[in-house]
Structure 1
Amino acid sequence: MSGEIDPELYATFLANQHPMYNVLEALAMAKGLLNGLPDICRAQAIHEDFKELWKHDEAPPYLDVTKKYLDYLREIENDEVKLFAHVYTRHMGDLSGGKMIALKVPGEGRLYKFKEPDTLKAKIRERLTDDMADESKVCFEFATQTFKEMMPYVKSPS
């Protein structure tokens, strides 16, 4: 990650991350998958980061991948192994790169601020099982697609 990240571009990214995290976390909470993982939920932090940065009356672009991911989460909502694989993939990424990323993004970067990141990472790792690997790859593919769909919104340097 290099240079300045355009606040509008990052806000668009956050606007698409919010529903993804919100639904994932709600489904995982309903299954008790987040019990004992204090400070794991990121949806509220994402929403606050977005509100800080978005300065327009109209909503930012809603990516196709966002809808596809939400549909997919509803398909797997009763599969605790798959759901936790998504929690692991998304949240460990935020935890692992969080300190560095928070310094690069515009605004407060609440998404990447955890009270006890090392403890939280250890607790998440304790719950991992080998049968989560394939589903983690599925989650990673959705994340990759998000960045691909964001590319048309990247402004050329002036």
Structure 2
Amino acid sequence: MLPRTFSRRIDRVQSAVDALELPPAVYKTCPFQPRDLVEAGLRQWLRCCGAAILDRQIIGMPSSAVDEAWHGLILCTERYAAFCRAAYGRFLHHHPQGGELPGKAKRAGSMHEQLHRTAVAWSFVARPGEECVLWDLDVRVGVPEPWGRMDHA
């Protein structure tokens, strides 16, 4: 059972993700279809980020398609900043592999460790009976070089 404060914060993240409007501009860098599947992956990722932030963890991105959609959202700077405040209480920075600040790469661990932490984060934010699309989304939407690790699904 989760501590009450953690559970309330996860509920806050869930509500903010549910309320987030994703304008077409989000998908300018993400041409993959069906868009509703990419959107589901992006929303799952943002929920996983909430659990990771609460636990002070750095997680790994399992989907190239979701990463592209996230980049599109980040480029909607006001919308993204407002969402981060509502969901996480602070701005969620993007630290692509190799782009971390000095000393942060060591704390982040290997990509394998980060992806494992993503799977753990999912276990905290998954809704009853909800399918996680993050691990095989790239294959499902036809990304030429998929990132997903289906053994985490």
Give the TM-score taking structure 1 as reference length: 0.29
Larger fraction in helix: 1
Larger Rg: 1
